Amino acid sequence: MDRRTFLKASIASTAAAGLASASGQAYAQAGKPPTIAFFVKNVTNPFWKACRIGAEKAAKDLGVALEVVAPTKPDNIEEQTRLVEDWIVRKPDAFVFVPVDYKALVPSIQKANKAGIPVVNYNNKMADIQAVSYIGSDDEVMEYEICTYLFKSMGGKGKVVHIDGVPAAITAQARKRGFERAVKAFPGIEVLASQPGQYRRLPAVQVFENLMQRFPEIDAVVSANDDMAVGIAEALAAAGRLSKTKVIGIDGIPDATAAIAAGKMFATADFSGHDQSYLAVTAAVRHLRKQPVPREIQLPIVIIDKSNVQQFMKTPEERAVPNWDKTVAARKS
């Protein structure tokens, strides 16, 4: 999805969300529904498209206006910093925020705190800020569990390549720790290389093609996200090596579930951006309406493979929204 298409969809979602429901009208001042500034890291990764769609659904359901805020350059710290400061001046009713860099953006979010703008943090957890709530998953445990699942399927031995995400991203750091924990638990696993793919398909493929030249035998590839994993599976297929190499990712994006169903990927983990963003926008609106919101919601870890992939083969548009009460009741304490 290019930026023009993304922004058209964002404008459309704002217009739709402006048709407030009865509950939204009750909150609204002078007939105007509250405005949520919803941040994503980029407009190129399908994961962030799913996040946008989940947020749009919540805005429509709850009768609030949604403004999608994204840097034109993927994962650009300087641009996201400017965007945060611009939106502080515009004074939305709340931020639903994911940082490009969980440390570098702390001063900017602290400014939002000082300006009295409520902040719901999702996907990448931040420290040293005042957040109404954090909604996400345990990245380290998720990576550990899916790697454990992979390594067991390999009989506990084999040669593995690890393709990391954006090294500065807290998700990438946590997932790498999970990978390393799993490797320690399986002494028969040999890590041939671990290199960053920047959470983007083309950079990951370029890195992996070089690794294929270096290593004629690769039993498995652990990718820090699905966008990279799908590209890696395609590169393996083009080289005639896919049948000998298992590929895993994280996110559960449509391209990955299709690849699993077709036998091109081994597994992924459902890191549903759709559900995270729906719940995060819901948390922001509940806070504005003075309804209770947990300090943290950790979503359950679900591994997707060929045995259950049909349950997940829906686009973000088709996916059912999570139930707030059930999710809160089931959350980790």
The residue type of 281 is: V
204, 129: one domain:
no
pTM of the entire structure?
Answer: 0.82
In the chain, what is the straight-line distance between the N-terminal and C-terminal CA atoms, in Å? 38
74, 18: one domain:
yes
d(CA 143, CA 177): 8
> H-helix or E-strand containing 68?
strand 65-69
- List, run by run, the mean pLDDT of 10-residue segments along the chain (333 residues): 45 39 41 93 92 98 98 95 98 97 96 98 96 96 98 98 93 96 98 97 98 98 98 98 98 95 97 96 98 96 96 93 94 55
100, 215: one domain:
no
Q: Please, are residues 107 and 117 in contact by the beta-carbon 8 Å criterion?
A: no
70, 116: one domain:
yes
107, 181: one domain:
no
> H-helix or E-strand containing 303?
strand 303-304
For the record, the structure tokens of 13 come out as 């979602």
The residue type of 112 is: A
d(CA 254, CA 103): 31
Residue 305 lies in a domain: no
80, 153: one domain:
no
Q: Please, are residues 39 and 98 in contact by the beta-carbon 8 Å criterion?
A: yes
DSSP designation for 118: -
User: The domain that contains 43 carries what CATH number?
Assistant: 3.40.50.2300
12, 52: one domain:
yes
52, 69: one domain:
yes
* Nearest of 91, 65, 98, 81 to residue 285 by alpha carbon: 65
